[in-house]
Amino acid sequence: MSGALPQGLPRLESAGLDGWMVRLFDAIDEGNMPWLTALVRECEATFGDRLVDLVPSYTTLLVVFDPLRLSPGEARGWLAEILERLQPDEATSDAPVKELPVWYDPSVGPELSRLAELAGMNLEEVVACHSERNYRVFALGFAPGFAFMGSVDARIEAPRLETPRRRVPAGSVAVAGRQTSAYPAVTPGGWNLIGRTPAVLFDRDREGFSLLRVGDRVRFVPIDRAEFERQGGDTRPMEEGR
């Protein structure tokens, strides 16, 4: 079970004339997710077509509403009523696991060796450490389809790069702090790259666009180069200075 909300929370914070930030927690924890998913469900049911957007994160939910049809005070009142009756959605713990195939290799994951050195492990142990647990998608952001997942084993926790890369290839699997993710498109980025997935993480022709959604459970599954190529993966190595 997910227990109770922390003392002094939840808290409603103004986000302008058309939004409220609902702060449920102050610390990142997988146990937050049943509360956040329950809040999303209740907001969708209560606000109906007056709802413009819901933006969940590790500890908060941004609720954006139509200011022409609902005043900030009315929206706040609705949220207060929701929070009074809110109970965690325990069904999130039973969500099916989505598997992402990953080719872990220094040619496409140049920080794989760095994580091994920091952890006092060999490369195979780092791969096992990263791939032998399920991760929860806490938020989507930074780039379309970029899923912030946690939490990685503390042994392979690593800070972001001091100088971000100008170009990170699509599909790059990475770690930053206790978070992990995969880049859905070519973008700048400062996370530690440890491999690459052939999965298409964002597709405008797919319903919902993003392969991963908030609340999903995800497991990274190691594959070899041949299987990576068979699934359409790009084996071109990282270039120096990128």
Q: 35 lies in which domain range?
A: 11-93
Please check whether residues 214 and 99 belong to one and the same domain: yes
Please check whether residues 72 and 120 belong to one and the same domain: no
Buried b (16+ CB within 10 A) or exposed e, 26-43: eebebebbbbbbbbbebb
CA distance 197 to 174: 10
CB atoms within 10 A of CB 121: 16
Structure tokens at 157: 């926790």
CA distance 195 to 174: 7
Phi, psi of 132 (to 5 degrees): -100, 25
CATH classification of the domain holding 87: 3.30.1360.40
Please check whether residues 113 and 187 belong to one and the same domain: yes
- Per-residue model confidence (pLDDT) at position 15: 95
pTM: 0.79
Please check whether residues 64 and 103 belong to one and the same domain: no
CA distances from 72 to 9, 38, 79, 101, 231 (A): 20, 22, 10, 45, 49
Please check whether residues 103 and 138 belong to one and the same domain: yes
Nearest to 181 by CA among 100, 92, 111, 104: 100
CA distance 143 to 172: 13
Structure tokens at 36: 């956040």
Q: Which contacts (CB < 8 Å, 24+ apart) does range 205-208 have?
A: none
Beta strands in the chain (DSSP E): 11-14, 19-23, 51-56, 60-65, 97-102, 135-140, 147-150, 165-168, 172-176, 179-182, 187-189, 192-196, 217-222
- Per-residue model confidence (pLDDT) at position 242: 47
Domain total in the chain: 2
* 3 state DSSP class of 58: coil
Please check whether residues 219 and 106 belong to one and the same domain: yes
CA distance 178 to 242: 24
In a domain, 36, yes or no: yes
Please check whether residues 143 and 223 belong to one and the same domain: yes
DSSP calls for 67-131: TTTS-HHHHHHHHHHHHHH----GGGGGPPEEEEEEB--TTT-TTHHHHHHHHT--HHHHHHHHH
Please check whether residues 75 and 123 belong to one and the same domain: no
The contacts of residue 20 (CB under 8 Å, 6+ apart) are: 12, 13, 14, 62, 63, 72, 75, 76, 79
**Domain limit, last residue, from 93, 116, 147:** 93
pLDDT, tens digit only, all 242 positions of the chain = 456 788 888 999 999 999 999 999 998 887 888 899 899 889 999 999 999 988 888 899 999 999 999 999 999 999 999 999 999 987 666 678 999 999 999 999 999 999 999 999 999 999 999 999 999 898 888 888 999 998 899 999 999 999 999 999 999 999 999 999 999 999 999 999 999 999 999 998 888 789 998 888 999 999 999 999 999 999 999 764 44
Please check whether residues 65 and 107 belong to one and the same domain: no
